[in-house]
Amino acid sequence: MVPGHALANGILFTDQYQLTMAQLYFRHGLHEATVQFDHFYRSNPNYDSHQAGYCINAGLATFLDWMQGTRIQDQEIEQLRGQRNSAGAALFADDFLAWLRAHGDFGNMTIRAVPEGRVVHPNTPL
């Protein structure tokens, strides 16, 4: 994470589901498998009297810059270590947090995307 950026701009700017699923993949030995995830949107924006018929793919360069400069920090590991489930037990196991600390960046990820500025439609991988 770039110094001076808020924690919300770091690698933990995601939902809890993604983090718990990452731990589940780790627990079942799937964390090293090659996988594919698709990013898409479900419907065009509704601007009241004007219904948009499409969107423009934008922000890819900013996203890629963020990915290159972001990795999980000790502060974020400690934030995860402090999370508890409803029974009070640690939500994230120490072995998963150690793996995340060692591999918590996007260095092994390949991005294939619709080029910047292209028209895109709902339910189509971006």
Distance CA 68, CA 107 (A): 8
Residue spans per domain, the chain? 7-120
pLDDT at 6: 47
Per-residue pLDDT of the chain (126 residues; tens, 9 = 90+): 445 544 446 778 788 899 999 999 999 999 999 988 898 999 888 888 777 788 899 999 888 888 888 889 999 999 999 999 999 999 999 999 999 999 988 888 899 999 999 999 999 998
Q: Minimal CA–CA distance to 63: which of 124, 111, 28, 23?
A: 111
pLDDT at 9: 67
> pTM of the full predicted structure?
0.76
The residues near 74 (Cβ < 8 Å, ≥ 6 apart) are 101
